[in-house]
Amino acid sequence: MKLSLILAKHVTVVVTRVLIKVNKLQLMGELYFFSGKLTAHLQRSYIDIIKGTVMSEETIFSKIIRQEIPTPLLYQDELVSAFRDISPRVDSHILIVPNKHIATINDVTSEDELTLGRMITVAKKLAKEDGIDESGYRLIINCNSDGGQEVYHIHMHLLGGQPLGTMLSV
């Protein structure tokens, strides 16, 4: 199935449902091709999928990203996805997750810089949409057990909607 939409004068989006078989691994999903620079990035990601390097470890977040676990997505593009935390700690608690599996911040490479930057710009966009940009919010990325990481697929917590108090309570 293929669907093309003209969104603006110079932007075309093509959605293609795919099934890729790598050895015994089957990957199903949709590829989004945007005009210009993003197309090249997706082609590179497509090659990474064939090599078996994307989503090499299964996490609950990778299932949400692929919508195998139906979850309302607040944002999704070729690099990141965002959705509300299932157990919010504050009034507004959103998770921003790279689509590529990266277990911890210690596993980030220079190739991930665009993705990490996108996580921050998406946080800014979602804070504004959620009405917490003016009152303030906090962005948190936990690393490993002492840092409070519970899911080993890096993710940024966007927290706000109420006073958050001091940074740490130890």
Residues serving a catalytic function are 155
Residue 87 and residue 147 in contact, taking contact as beta carbons nearer than 8 Å:
no
Containing 49, the helix (H) or strand (E) segment is helix 37-51
CA distance 145 to 46: 32
The residue type of 133 is D
The CB-side HSE value for 86 (13 A sphere, CA atoms) comes to 7
CA distance 88 to 30: 29
